[in-house]
Amino acid sequence: MFRFEDFPPGDRRRWEKLIEKEIGSLPEGRPRPFYMRDDVEGWETRAPLWQETGWTLVSDLYVPDEVGVWRYTEPVPQPPPRTWFIPAGAALPAGRPGPEVEIFHQVPAEEGPSMVMGTAVWALPLRLTPELTWEGAESLRALPPVQPLHISLILDERFFHSILLLRSLRKALQENGLPNVQFWVQPAAHLLEISPNLPGAGKEENLIRLTTYALSGILGGASYIYIPAIDREEPHAERWSRNISHILRYEVAHLFTTPDPLSGSFYIEAETDRLAAALRAYLS
């Protein structure tokens, strides 16, 4: 019979030697080969990064007659809610807006006495490089100090990069006095293109790419996830895209009910802290 105390904890150098023995010299840059408890400050006491109860599918195509069958808490609205997508750096117009950045759906312009009807969602050209450094972070300086703050981001197939982008941006904004942030995410255009690197590739592979994208958005804490039709000419394409949401929502245990499934991962927590610290310089 073995006891936990019989196994002394391994220090960082011991793990480095074991990894070097298996794969040779340790790779340079980020992410590191492994993370330990001492890489994360206050790990035992930190609260989940987000406390939302789930996400909303935003879609331009779906099967209206089947929505109720699939137990949406609130049926996908038809037409979708009026939402303006504003480029970062632009001021929210007082009257009828000019050429807005339109991402998810067509929105009719409505004029009020001195306001635009709808929600302003600020599109950020923010991304993480393969080395986990920021690109486009200067656009954060244009964000208005409003609550709730709606931000639109483009995610690609890099699963952990997308999760870290969302989590670290949320943490940086929370620490800068903006706790109520709503993320709208959309897939990068190439996720809907047939890959030239796969022999015999077709649109079916894009179903897997979009699923990976949607899952990273959920784990990163997105509030609104756009899953476009894979191929509008295919009769079942909109159903394929819509069912990504159904499977992740109803067939992946605890994904919908756990407020922060990745909380406690030393890798995720350590890189979230580091990347958020880098963003705060742009928010100061």
3-state secondary structure of 281: helix
Q: Is 241 exposed, middle or buried (0-12, 13-18, 19+ CB in 10 A)?
A: buried
Give the CA count within 13 Å in the CB-facing half-sphere of 283.
20
Amino acid 284: pLDDT: 78
Amino acid 83: pLDDT: 61
Amino acid 105: pLDDT: 34
Amino acid 53: pLDDT: 58
CA 40 to each of CA 35, 172, 256, 264, 267: distance values in angstroms, whole numbers, following the listed order:
9, 16, 26, 9, 9
Amino acid 100: pLDDT: 35
pLDDT in tens, the chain (284 residues): 667 677 777 788 988 888 888 888 877 778 888 899 889 998 888 887 776 656 666 654 444 444 433 333 444 444 445 566 666 656 554 443 333 333 333 333 444 433 445 677 888 889 999 999 999 998 888 888 888 888 889 999 899 999 999 999 999 999 999 888 988 888 898 888 887 777 777 777 888 888 999 999 989 988 888 887 777 677 666 677 778 877 887 788 777 777 788 888 999 999 999 999 999 988 87
- The DSSP string of 230-260 is S-TTSTTHHHHHHHHHHHHHHSSTTTTT-S-
Amino acid 275: pLDDT: 96
Amino acid letter for position 114: S
Amino acid 75: pLDDT: 42
Residues 6+ apart with CB under 8 A from 218: 55, 225, 248, 255
